[in-house]
Structure 1
Amino acid sequence: MKIRLKIALNTTLLFGFLLAVILGAVYNVTQAIIEVKFYERLEQRVQISSKIYFEKDELEATIYADFAARYLKKLPDESDQIFNDQMKPVIPPHHPEFENLPITFEQVKQEKTVHFTNKKRLYVAQYKRDNTGEYVVVVCAVDSNGESYLATLQWIIFLSYLVSMATVMLTSWFFAEKVLRPINDVISDVGNITTSNLEERLDEGNGKDEIAQLAHSFNGMLDRIEDGFQQQKSFVSNASHELRTPLTALIGELEVMMMRERNTEEYQEGIATALIRAKSLREIINHLLTLAKTNEGMLTEKLTPIRLDELIFEIHAQQPAGEVVLDFGDLPEDFDEMEVMGNEGLLRLAIGNLVENALKYSEKRPVKVEYYHANGTANIKVIDQGIGIEPEDLKKVLQPFYRSQRAKDFAPGNGIGLALAAKIIRICGGKLELESKVGVGTTAHLTFKSKQKK
């Protein structure tokens, strides 16, 4: 069921329920008022009947009877009767409508006036006392005018209800279409966006209502998708290029060796060169596989507690003597705070890549690795004195396969190390920030939440 129909139906049902309650209340109140008014008329008839029967002055009784006949309109099927204290009729003839009355003499005597209905007739019974004894005067009639009025009111209510429901249904349908029109426009615009026109954006309208917020959120998602799509295209293009280069060089080297007979020394030299190309190709493939794993989130389930200080010592031990200088600053009293959650092998690879990258572009100058704790976080800084990074390149160096022209001219590489390190650090709950100045050097700042502070 479409939202437009849901809105129209729900609005109509709610209005119908409220209208039914209101109209039902109107009908019941009207019915009660008509009944009260008719009982008041019956009570007047009781007074007339009492005067006529109990009045000792026959002339005055005759006057009452003549007044009732002249000026009081006789009620439909009106009858009256007077009963003694045994509830026996005292005035003939006996009327069938007064048989088996659901009242007793004591009840009427106690309540003075009793109203009741029996077979569509309305009755009023009143207690009267005379020097001849105690009596109950009962008058009954059928309120045919009231019934006719209520029947007419029922038809008016029924027709009003049908017309109101139809009007509300049509009005709700119209306004629902008007309210949902912007959503339909969004649906139409979304349906026109494909991979070939990801730059298209939805109209955000006035920018204030919920539809505008939806369009704004969707545009933000499109920005991220477009950025990811462009990165993927760049990644595929660069990966193809990086794989093709060593593979082409390897094939070329082997083809040159096979062009003619060579001595042992030349073969060994050619094989050594081919081996270098093959190792470079293996390194790129390994990095690509690791990047694929980080993209698919395959590493998050393998996070374990790791001591960063021990990891730094291991990486330092793998570097040539004197090229990496360690500097340990403020450390927590509880050594457990030096633990972070991460994948040990990958975190070693990430920090190792940062150190090796710093050494590569430092022109043989020592690289400093600082480790300290501050505000519940573990911090690692890898500081080099290398060629630095241009400001416009600093925003892109964490993208896979991106290498600045300055870096290409200075040393060979494939542009995967920094991107891989950044992803691994992010998966381990850390953050990598780069600061650089051309000709001065680069600082890679790693921040991790301590295990006990998480």
Structure 2
Amino acid sequence: MNFRNQLTLIFTGLTTAVLIFMGLIIYFFAEQYTHRQYFQRLRDRGVISAQMYLERDELSAASMQKIQRKYLQSLARETLTIFDKNRQVLLSPDTDKPSVQSDVFDEIDQHQEAEFWQEDKQAVGLWYEDNQGNFYVIVSAMDVTGKSKLQNLQKVLLVSILVGMVIMAVAGHFFARKVLQPIVSIVQEVNKIRASNLHLRVKGRENRDEIGDLVSTFNQMLERLETSFYMQKSFIANASHELRNPLTAIRGELEVTLLKDRTPEEYKQSLETLQKETDRLEKLTSDLILLAQTGFDEEAVRQEQVRIDEVLLEVKTDLRQQLPQNQIQLDLSNLPENPELITVLGNRNLLQIALKNVLENASKFSDHQPVLVSLKCEEKQVAVLVKDQGIGIPEQELNRVMEPFYRAQNARARTGSGIGLAMTEKIMRLHGGSIKMESILQKGTSVTLLFPTVYQS
């Protein structure tokens, strides 16, 4: 069953339930009103009957005629029974003793009257006081007219509900089709989108309703998919190119070396070249693995509380071994008293990689001139500022240096894989942070890393 039919069925079912409920309410109050009206009629009938039979000797001829005119119209299956105060029958249409429960007499004694049912007949009991004594007057009859009206009301309500069901089913199908038409259009547009044309978008809606939000969310997802596909294609192409370079260099060096016998010095020089290219290939492979790892979702990364100042000290220690000539200077003079102000939630190893890439680039592209690294606490976040005195980045390329394998023109003569900043940007985004860069050619580059802290009050 498709969603349109389900919606129509639910709409029809709910409407039918409402109609049935309203019909039951209407019938209930109509029945109560009919029975109440007939009880009142029986009460009046009892008073008239008592006057006719108990006060016949006290009324004038005119009064008796008036009472008789009221009494001439008998009720269906009407019976009149009169009991004395000892609950003995004085007047009864039946030869057998009429059956009246003792609780009926008790209620009459307490309230001067009682309403009750005798099988399918309604009955009223009255306490009547006369100069000859006190009596119980019991009148019962069947409300044929009221019963007929209620049966007719049942038929009217039943027909109304059935007709309402049909109307609601037709109307529900029409409105379900109208309501779902935008979704049908969206499905038709989505079916046109393939991996080869991810640039297509679903046409937006003017009204900002739920369907409009769905279209907007879907288009945003397409943008992310398009970016992801582009990055994947770019990643594969650039990775293949970068991996091919050291492999080609190794193969070429081996072929040249094997063309003829070499002196020990030449063999040593060749092996050094091979070692250099092998190291380059090893680093490139490691960077590719790390770059793939940073593509995990935030939930997939093990979270722990990490102090940024400790990570900076650890990175500086590592760089002292790898780049002994570096002049990285840490300025931790502005450390706050509350350590939570410089504590972030994240993965310590990934944070080390992000900071190490930035500091290593700052030292390498400034020819190992002094690099100033400072820590600054801002509102709900901690900032790491890295400022070098290097070659800088051209303004037109500043927005592209964080793309995987992209390298600025003035940096291509230096060793590197073009992965470091892309990896750092992914790690920052993974930890809910951001990276900002400012650069002036031949004067240096300033990089700001912003991390959200655990202290949010």
Same fold (TM over 0.5): yes
Match for residue 441 of structure 2 among 431, 435, 438? 438
**Runs of 5+ in structure 1 lacking a partner?**
none
Greater alpha carbon shift after TM alignment, 173-182 vs 421-430 = 421-430
Match for residue 413 of structure 1 among 401, 413, 416? 416
Q: How big is the shift at 1:390?
A: 2.0
Paired with 1:128 and 1:40, the residues of 2 have a C-alpha distance of 16
Specify whether residues 97 and 73 from structure 1 end up closer, same or farther in structure 2 by C-alpha distance, changes over 3 A only: farther
Q: How big is the shift at 1:369?
A: 2.2
Residue of structure 1 equivalent to 2:294 = 294
For 1:32-74, what per-residue CA distance to the aligned partner results, in whole angstroms no more than 9, with x for missing partners?
2222332333333323322322335488368626863587422
The answer to whether structure 1 residue 404 and structure 2 residue 408 are counterparts is yes
Q: Percent identity?
A: 33
Q: How big is the shift at 1:351?
A: 3.2
Paired with 1:326 and 1:46, the residues of 2 have a C-alpha distance of 110
Match for residue 360 of structure 2 among 356, 362, 386? 356
Greater alpha carbon shift after TM alignment, 438-447 vs 5-14 = 5-14
Residue of structure 2 equivalent to 1:283 = 283
Q: Secondary structure at the match of 1:414?
A: coil
Specify whether residues 320 and 99 from structure 1 end up closer, same or farther in structure 2 by C-alpha distance, changes over 3 A only: closer
Paired with 1:344 and 1:109, the residues of 2 have a C-alpha distance of 92
**Aligned AA for 2:410?**
R
Paired with 1:420 and 1:373, the residues of 2 have a C-alpha distance of 23
Paired with 1:215 and 1:47, the residues of 2 have a C-alpha distance of 77
Match for residue 394 of structure 1 among 398, 402, 406? 398
For 1:239-267, what per-residue CA distance to the aligned partner results, in whole angstroms no more than 9, with x for missing partners?
00011111112111211222233333332
Residue of structure 1 equivalent to 2:259 = 259
Paired with 1:326 and 1:30, the residues of 2 have a C-alpha distance of 90
Equivalent residues of 2:124, 2:140 under 8 A apart: yes
Using structure 1 for the length normalisation, give the TM-score. Answer: 0.87
Q: Secondary structure at the match of 2:80?
A: strand
Specify whether residues 63 and 314 from structure 1 end up closer, same or farther in structure 2 by C-alpha distance, changes over 3 A only: closer
Q: How big is the shift at 1:93?
A: 5.4
**Aligned AA for 2:355?**
I
Q: Secondary structure at the match of 1:90?
A: strand
Residue of structure 2 equivalent to 1:218 = 218
Equivalent residues of 1:52, 1:62 under 8 A apart: no
Q: How big is the shift at 1:28?
A: 2.2
Paired with 1:38 and 1:158, the residues of 2 have a C-alpha distance of 25
Greater alpha carbon shift after TM alignment, 27-36 vs 97-106 = 97-106
The answer to whether structure 1 residue 108 and structure 2 residue 108 are counterparts is yes
Specify whether residues 399 and 42 from structure 1 end up closer, same or farther in structure 2 by C-alpha distance, changes over 3 A only: same
Equivalent residues of 1:76, 1:144 under 8 A apart: yes
Q: Secondary structure at the match of 1:77?
A: strand
**Aligned AA for 1:12?**
T
Paired with 2:417 and 2:274, the residues of 1 have a C-alpha distance of 18
Paired with 1:11 and 1:155, the residues of 2 have a C-alpha distance of 24
Paired with 2:99 and 2:326, the residues of 1 have a C-alpha distance of 125
The answer to whether structure 1 residue 366 and structure 2 residue 384 are counterparts is no
The answer to whether structure 1 residue 200 and structure 2 residue 203 are counterparts is no
Greater alpha carbon shift after TM alignment, 327-336 vs 195-204 = 327-336
Greater alpha carbon shift after TM alignment, 115-124 vs 217-226 = 115-124
Equivalent residues of 2:326, 2:368 under 8 A apart: no
Q: How big is the shift at 1:326?
A: 4.6
Equivalent residues of 1:434, 1:445 under 8 A apart: yes
Paired with 1:418 and 1:80, the residues of 2 have a C-alpha distance of 106
Greater alpha carbon shift after TM alignment, 346-355 vs 389-398 = 346-355
Q: Secondary structure at the match of 2:76?
A: coil
Paired with 1:113 and 1:291, the residues of 2 have a C-alpha distance of 95
Residue of structure 2 equivalent to 1:181 = 181
Paired with 2:97 and 2:178, the residues of 1 have a C-alpha distance of 64
Query: What count of residue pairs does the alignment treat as equivalent?
Result: 452
Using structure 2 for the length normalisation, give the TM-score. Answer: 0.87
Paired with 2:111 and 2:425, the residues of 1 have a C-alpha distance of 94
Equivalent residues of 1:294, 1:423 under 8 A apart: yes
Q: How big is the shift at 1:181?
A: 1.8
Specify whether residues 57 and 348 from structure 1 end up closer, same or farther in structure 2 by C-alpha distance, changes over 3 A only: closer
Specify whether residues 81 and 442 from structure 1 end up closer, same or farther in structure 2 by C-alpha distance, changes over 3 A only: same
**Runs of 5+ in structure 2 lacking a partner?**
none
Q: Secondary structure at the match of 1:295?
A: coil
Paired with 1:119 and 1:341, the residues of 2 have a C-alpha distance of 80
Equivalent residues of 1:358, 1:367 under 8 A apart: no
Q: How big is the shift at 1:129?
A: 2.5
**Aligned AA for 1:301?**
R
Q: How big is the shift at 1:199?
A: 0.6
Specify whether residues 89 and 45 from structure 1 end up closer, same or farther in structure 2 by C-alpha distance, changes over 3 A only: same
Greater alpha carbon shift after TM alignment, 193-202 vs 327-336 = 327-336
Residue of structure 2 equivalent to 1:240 = 240
